[in-house]
A and B are shown apart, each in its own frame.
Chain A
Amino acid sequence: MSFRKIFTPHLGDPNCHTLEFYEKTGGYEGARKALRDWEPDALIDEVKASSLRGRGGAGFPTGVKWGFVPKQTDKLKYLAVNADESEPGTFKDRVLMERMPHQLIEGIIISCWAVGIHSAYIYIRGEYVHAYQRLVAACAEAYDKGILGSKVLGHDFHLDITVHRGAGAYICGEETGMLTSLEGERGQPKLKPPFPAIEGLFGCPTVVNNVETISNLPYIMEIGAEGYKKIGPESSPGPKLYCVSGHVEKPGTYELPMGVNLLELINDHCGGVWKGRKLKAVIPGGSSAHVLSADECDVAMDIESLAAAGSMLGSAGVIVMDDQTCMVNALLNVMKFYHHESCGQCTPCREGTGWLEKIVHRIAYGHGKLEDLDRIDTVCDRMVGKTICVLADAAAFPAWSFTQKFRDEFIHCIEHGGSPEVKRRHPDRIGGGLHV
């Protein structure tokens, strides 16, 4: 079967975000079909059968997650669409919301019909002002045309969507952090269990799904679970958006099947490593994923294959680094991010992220010691798997993999007074410490 793009075929058209355009190209047919032809339970089974897996990072089977929501409950149920997209190197949801907002709304209708939800929130990253405006306009159009509201598409089913802007915290992308933030509390993750499907927003059963995950649903309605499963590997099928950034000729968002080869993605689609340079390393799934060295990059971009390669698909934020990249400086950048973004409630994460940045900073700025490398190792070890959410793990993974796979570079910096890139860019700051 040849691959058909579902997210990006019309991006060339300046009006692709409008309702008129979306309906002209077959929009809302999937939602009509769902409401007309599918019993909610059967629809959940269909999504299970499609093997659709979450695109937010963890890759959890979507239909299975929906199945956890209690059928008999006096409580309201909610859908919270995760549009916080803050993982470094990730910008796919932004494209979907700016250019294809109706596809997301259609997906929301299908999800809510399946799970029996009448109230959906879209929690959108605060910096995404344009995407926010597009979403709000699209919702207004949809209400106007009876696609949302008291009778969705003329059916006896009511649904409201509220678009809520975050205030700029990575941790509000973690699902329970997002829910506490939506509730008006300080955005920070909660202990699980209870899982959101049982006790989520305002203490009610809540489905949390990523924008891209939800945007897949109209297509599943169109071609059915069987057809969907044939795209890419059977265990994690479907069309996929890859966000490629860094040292490639043509960075951008690429729609390709799950399981595309990473080198093919870089060389054939993105025009190869820029300036004719060689590949040094790739972070395949957002900054939380283990880095791959150039010789590990002949790998399929799907959940299983990347896990087998010791990394993860994560958010499919592919960060490409050429052979002139200083890995110490690159890691410092990543550590700065996690230090800045840790919500600070768990001791290992609160203190560990800061400690890691301080050590890497010292190495980059010329005060490193050889025992620092072991220290990074044990600090990571003391963070992983010991906290409320996995941000601590997400900070430890790059620290681990950078220092293990590029140990020579770290040793070189330690023995030669710091990172060559820092020396070039900030000669005046070499030798300085990090104050918080």
Chain B
Amino acid sequence: MSEATNPETPLVNWVLNGQPVQSPAGMTIFEAAKALETTIPNFCYHPGLTIAGNCRICMVESNRSKKPVISCSERIAEGLEIQTESPMAIEARNAVMEFQLINHPLDCPVCDKAGECDLQDYSYDHGPDRSRFDEEKNIRHTKELGPTIDIWGNRCIVCTRCVRFCDEISGTGELCVVERGDRSVVDVFPTVPIDNPLAGNVVDICPVGALISNDFKFEARIWNMRKTDSVCAGCARGCNVEVQSLDGFVKRLVPRENMEVNKWWMCDEGRYDYRYLLADERVTACTKDGEPVEDHDAHETLAHWLQDPGGTLGILVDPYITCEEAFLVEQIASHANNALVGGWKPADGTAQSFPGQFTISGEKAPNRLGVEAVLGKLVFGSQGHALRTALEKGQVSTLIVFAGFPHPDPDDAWVQAIRKAKRRAVFALQAGAWTEGAGLVIPGASPFEKDGTYANEDGRLQRVRSFHAPGDVEWSHDLQRLQAVLRIAGLRPRSLSSSAVFRELADVKKPFHGLSHSTLPATGAPLPGFIPLPVGVEGGSV
């Protein structure tokens, strides 16, 4: 991979399917062909793992060998001529497909992998249309391998991706192949279940439906789900994910490749955390003084509060709001005579690093840097401190709180402080200490329901998107609610899309200059000139 990106690497002249081509030296045939948009089937190859060369599906014809060679391990060389579609290559591939299928149960109708299964896909392309196998199929175990993962052994094609993942990436080594020959199957040692913070990835990389996630088992058919590219909000790493949902419910998260952020992986904490969307404490309707009110009434009330805050206006933000929402917060503050904006963020944990160069950030805040880029470096530092002091002294009349984090663990000092504000409006994901006694409670959107941008711990700006289909939005996200309020208060002419708000932001905030939603690559982009500093370096923690 790295060879491909290094401009110093010399080029090699070789021939792919009759076409003279050039590729950077050192690449495997498979990688070089892929870069030239010729895909060769593969099962055991995974770009993030060492080469095993065991499945043999990637065999191609070479002018340097009488036998077909495996393209995932063989490297390109000057004068090499490779055929991926010659009779020899096709026969080799068909042969492997026939072998793969003879003991495979072909229970696609009840298999969770169906629809994204490499074996299923290749068997359409390369498999025999009827079986020459008249024998009894082998039976292998179906069992629990750990708290979140089962194996359906009959489906295992022994590619060892999962074993290599646990050896090389998580470094925990729980999985192994037991037995030999066609009895081979993946297992764990007795009393040592697969239970590591990255375990869920083995289900993603299993090319077939052998490893099954307990969480997703029988939940949905792959092809029925809606797929939304977004970012995990579990920590400041900001792993790129695809949120897969059905009928307005998130069914699972799978990582999206982003070499700058999460490679091909994500952690289990982030992966399974979406369940809070369904928590009982979820705030689902606006309330005023404890009584349910229509959205519009709530927005109108807040607009009146802003028009006449009755003294100092305090705004308490969290690191879950998007950059666009932060920008609207700044607009609100700038229209008030007297405003104090400060931030609160959940306590840091310890970072966890793994041998496969994957780190779960200790900072459980997905957009601290983005909010700082909009509202100032000190927003979670001295500004937060100043807001709390003012609150404690009873100097804040109107307070707006953003409590959009999934696991509210308010520290007592803040809880006491916010109660001293004369009136309080809370954009809340969940009911709890932050909402208790609030005059106005407005349902907050979760990170999975927001539309905007987050900047991760490296200062990389990435898109978050709502998994809801346009049109069936049950959850107006905070950005829309804020704009509604601003419109009623006469502070903004009309409501705009998140992208349009970002354009305004990019015009006035230096770190965002030149960026836009539409030009932001799928893998995000670094905020130019913005050097991330850990919280506390300037201003200290609040």
B partners with A: yes
- A residues sitting closer than 8 Å to B (CB atoms) are 169, 171, 186, 191, 339-348, 350-355, 358-359, 362, 375, 382, 385-388, 433-436
- Residue in B100, B139, B183 whose CB lies within 8 Å of A344: B183
- B residues sitting closer than 8 Å to A (CB atoms) are 51-57, 59, 66-68, 73, 92, 95-96, 98-100, 102-103, 132-136, 138-139, 157-158, 160, 176-177, 179-184
> Which chain B positions have C-beta within 8 A of A339?
181-182
Additional A-B contact list (20), CB under 8 Å, known A344-B177, A348-B95, A386-B68: A186-B177, A191-B52, A340-B181, A342-B181, A344-B179, A345-B52, A345-B158, A345-B177, A346-B54, A347-B96, A348-B96, A351-B102, A351-B182, A353-B181, A354-B182, A385-B67, A385-B68, A386-B95, A433-B136, A436-B182
Closest Cβ neighbor of A382 among chain B residues: B95
In this complex, which of B133, B176, B180 has the most chain A Cβ atoms within 10 angstroms of its Cβ? B180
Q: List 8 A-B contacts (CB under 8 A).
A: A344-B182, A344-B184, A347-B96, A347-B99, A354-B138, A355-B135, A382-B99, A386-B56
Bound Cα distance from A325 to B112, whole angstroms: 51
Bound Cα distance from A422 to B272, whole angstroms: 57
> Which chain A positions have C-beta within 8 A of B54?
345-347, 388
Q: Min CB distance, A428 to chain B, in Å?
A: 19
> Which chain B positions have C-beta within 8 A of A375?
132
> Which chain A positions have C-beta within 8 A of B157?
347
> Which chain B positions have C-beta within 8 A of A386?
56, 59, 67-68, 92, 95-96
Is A434 in contact with B184, judged by CB distance below 8 angstroms? no
> Which chain B positions have C-beta within 8 A of A341?
180-181
- Residue in A342, A347, A433 whose CB lies within 8 Å of B56: A347
Q: Min CB distance, A202 to chain B, in Å?
A: 16
Bound Cα distance from A123 to B157, whole angstroms: 31
Known A-B contacts A186-B176, A341-B181; A347 and B135 likewise in contact (beta carbons under 8 Å): no
Is B160 in contact with A355, judged by CB distance below 8 angstroms? no
Bound Cα distance from A344 to B67, whole angstroms: 21
Bound Cα distance from A352 to B135, whole angstroms: 12
Bound Cα distance from A382 to B128, whole angstroms: 14
Bound Cα distance from A385 to B68, whole angstroms: 8
> Which chain A positions have C-beta within 8 A of B66?
385
Known A-B contacts A348-B96, A351-B100; A343 and B135 likewise in contact (beta carbons under 8 Å): no
Closest Cβ neighbor of A169 among chain B residues: B180
Bound Cα distance from A342 to B54, whole angstroms: 13
In this complex, which of B59, B135, B158 has the most chain A Cβ atoms within 10 angstroms of its Cβ? B135
Known A-B contacts A339-B182, A348-B99, A350-B184; A358 and B53 likewise in contact (beta carbons under 8 Å): no
Bound Cα distance from A339 to B92, whole angstroms: 21
Closest Cβ neighbor of B157 among chain A residues: A347
Known A-B contacts A433-B136, A436-B138; A191 and B53 likewise in contact (beta carbons under 8 Å): yes
**Chain B interface mostly:** loop
Known A-B contacts A344-B184, A353-B182, A386-B68; A435 and B99 likewise in contact (beta carbons under 8 Å): no
Bound Cα distance from A344 to B103, whole angstroms: 13
> Which chain A positions have C-beta within 8 A of B176?
186
In this complex, which of A340, A352, A433 has the most chain B Cβ atoms within 10 angstroms of its Cβ? A352
> Which chain B positions have C-beta within 8 A of A436?
136, 138-139, 182-183
Q: Min CB distance, B118 to chain A, in Å?
A: 13
Is A343 in contact with B53, judged by CB distance below 8 angstroms? no
Closest Cβ neighbor of B140 among chain A residues: A436
Is A347 in contact with B67, judged by CB distance below 8 angstroms? no
> Which chain B positions have C-beta within 8 A of A355?
99, 102, 133, 135
> Which chain A positions have C-beta within 8 A of B102?
351, 355
Q: Min CB distance, B11 to chain A, in Å?
A: 23
Q: Min CB distance, A335 to chain B, in Å?
A: 12
Known A-B contacts A191-B53, A385-B67, A388-B53; A343 and B181 likewise in contact (beta carbons under 8 Å): yes
In this complex, which of A346, A359, A434 has the most chain B Cβ atoms within 10 angstroms of its Cβ? A346
Is B92 in contact with A191, judged by CB distance below 8 angstroms? no
Q: Min CB distance, B128 to chain A, in Å?
A: 11
> Which chain A positions have C-beta within 8 A of B92?
386
Bound Cα distance from A341 to B181, whole angstroms: 7
Q: Min CB distance, B47 to chain A, in Å?
A: 17
- Residue in A171, A191, A353, A362 whose CB lies within 8 Å of B135: A362
Is B182 in contact with A191, judged by CB distance below 8 angstroms? no
Bound Cα distance from A339 to B181, whole angstroms: 6
Q: Min CB distance, A346 to chain B, in Å?
A: 5
Is A343 in contact with B95, judged by CB distance below 8 angstroms? no
Bound Cα distance from A348 to B157, whole angstroms: 11
Q: Min CB distance, B267 to chain A, in Å?
A: 28
Closest Cβ neighbor of B97 among chain A residues: A347
> Which chain B positions have C-beta within 8 A of A359?
135
Bound Cα distance from A59 to B131, whole angstroms: 40
- Pick the 6 closest A-B CB pairs, nearest first: A344-B184, A382-B95, A351-B99, A385-B67, A354-B182, A358-B135
Bound Cα distance from A342 to B183, whole angstroms: 10
> Which chain A positions have C-beta within 8 A of B184?
343-345, 350
In this complex, which of B52, B99, B102, B179 has the most chain A Cβ atoms within 10 angstroms of its Cβ? B99
Is A344 in contact with B181, judged by CB distance below 8 angstroms? yes
> Which chain A positions have C-beta within 8 A of B96?
347-348, 386
Is B95 in contact with A344, judged by CB distance below 8 angstroms? no
Is B103 in contact with A347, judged by CB distance below 8 angstroms? no
Closest Cβ neighbor of B139 among chain A residues: A436
Q: Min CB distance, B45 to chain A, in Å?
A: 12
> Which chain B positions have C-beta within 8 A of A354?
103, 138, 181-182
Bound Cα distance from A387 to B132, whole angstroms: 22
Bound Cα distance from A239 to B294, whole angstroms: 99
Bound Cα distance from A385 to B91, whole angstroms: 13
Bound Cα distance from A358 to B432, whole angstroms: 65
In this complex, which of A341, A347, A358, A388 has the most chain B Cβ atoms within 10 angstroms of its Cβ? A347
In this complex, which of A339, A341, A345, A436 has the most chain B Cβ atoms within 10 angstroms of its Cβ? A345
Bound Cα distance from A353 to B184, whole angstroms: 13
> Which chain B positions have C-beta within 8 A of A433?
135-136
Closest Cβ neighbor of B65 among chain A residues: A385
- Residue in B55, B133, B134, B136 whose CB lies within 8 Å of A347: B55
Q: Min CB distance, B112 to chain A, in Å?
A: 23
> Which chain A positions have C-beta within 8 A of B158?
344-345, 347, 350
> Which chain A positions have C-beta within 8 A of B180?
169, 171, 340-344
Is B68 in contact with A350, judged by CB distance below 8 angstroms? no
Known A-B contacts A351-B102, A352-B99, A386-B92; A345 and B132 likewise in contact (beta carbons under 8 Å): no
> Which chain A positions have C-beta within 8 A of B68?
385-386
> Which chain B positions have C-beta within 8 A of A352?
99
Known A-B contacts A354-B181, A354-B182; A348 and B56 likewise in contact (beta carbons under 8 Å): yes
Bound Cα distance from A298 to B273, whole angstroms: 75
Bound Cα distance from A341 to B135, whole angstroms: 20
> Which chain B positions have C-beta within 8 A of A345?
52, 54, 158, 160, 177, 184
Known A-B contacts A347-B56, A348-B56; A382 and B98 likewise in contact (beta carbons under 8 Å): yes
Closest Cβ neighbor of A372 among chain B residues: B134
Bound Cα distance from A345 to B163, whole angstroms: 12
Q: Min CB distance, B101 to chain A, in Å?
A: 9
> Which chain B positions have C-beta within 8 A of A387?
56
Q: Min CB distance, A183 to chain B, in Å?
A: 13
> Which chain B positions have C-beta within 8 A of A434?
135-136
Q: Min CB distance, A369 to chain B, in Å?
A: 8
Bound Cα distance from A375 to B99, whole angstroms: 13
Bound Cα distance from A385 to B95, whole angstroms: 12
Bound Cα distance from A382 to B136, whole angstroms: 21
Bound Cα distance from A361 to B57, whole angstroms: 28
> Which chain B positions have C-beta within 8 A of A347?
54-57, 96, 99-100, 157-158
Q: Min CB distance, A372 to chain B, in Å?
A: 9
Is A350 in contact with B181, judged by CB distance below 8 angstroms? yes
